[in-house]
Amino acid sequence: MSQPTSLPEHENATASICLCHAVLFDLDGTLADTAPDLVAAVNKMRADRRLDMLPLEQLRPLASAGARGLIGGAFEIGPEHHEYAAMREEFLANYEADLCIESTLFPGIGELLDELDAREVRWGIVTNKVARLTMPLVEQLGLAARASCVVAGDTTPHAKPHPAPLLHAANELAIRPKQIVYIGDDLRDVQAGFAAGMMTVAAAYGYCGTDLPPALWHAQHIVDSPMQLRQLLAELRR
């Protein structure tokens, strides 16, 4: 297991008193490998424009950034481009039509969730994916009936890295933020977790779509696999 990253004193204090009464997960790149379906949606846009398909592995690291990341990677444009808004809607429509064709839980995540359930540790999902996509995807992944809360990117007025979605989840769980662990594969997840006063875990096995490596995100813990995450959570419950 990776060693905890060096943190400012107040953040180490938060980590030391966290009792892991609940666990919150990011969705894309943390709980589920959704990149194949996300990449297929943007590749359909390229095909419709008679452009070559791009390989999954080229676009995979951009999946955590959703439409912005994938459209940027496939067409080299950003939200400031005059065609971006229409292309974003096109991408979302493509994705919604084939939401869970190849998406699956990462290997080991199912067993991790089974263990949390067996230990009666409540867990939930906090994602920047909009609700119209989040809710059916969570249902098709078989998680809807099990998750104690599901917070989408438009559940609150702000998305991560703002702490509002995480604080909303804590309120739904009726558990203090300092007793919750948040796990994500993007820098924004760690930033949101810090801002909410939760313990943060960087899922280095995920997409990690940033030039800044997870070791520099200042998460209290870094895990390289769901198995390491399972071991970490077991230790935090002792």
pLDDT surpasses 60 at 2: no
pLDDT surpasses 90 at 182: yes
Q: What is the pLDDT of residues 37-86, one digit of tens each?
A: 999 999 999 999 999 999 999 999 999 899 999 999 999 999 999 999 99
Residue 39 and residue 150 share a domain? no
Q: Among 200, 170, 70, which residue's Cα sits nearest to residue 129?
A: 70
Per the structure, how many domains does the chain have? 2
**Is 4 inside a domain boundary?**
no
Say whether 189 is catalytic.
Answer: no
Catalytic residue among 26, 37, 185, 186: 26
Residue 163 and residue 119 share a domain? yes
Say whether 26 is catalytic.
Answer: yes
Residue 140 and residue 59 share a domain? no
pLDDT surpasses 60 at 4: no
- Of 74, 97, 120, the one marking the end of a domain is 97
Q: Say which CATH number the domain at 230 has.
A: 3.40.50.1000
| CA 142/CA 110 separation, integer angstroms | 10
Residue with the bigger pLDDT between 64 and 219: it is 219
Q: pTM surpassing 0.85?
A: yes
- Of 97, 117, 146, the one marking the end of a domain is 97
Residue 26 and residue 51 share a domain? no
Structural domain containing residue 42: 35-97
Residue 225 and residue 124 share a domain? yes
| CA 228/CA 234 separation, integer angstroms | 10
Give the amino acid at 79. P
Residue 176 and residue 83 share a domain? no
pLDDT surpasses 50 at 5: no
- Give the model's pLDDT for residue 44: 98
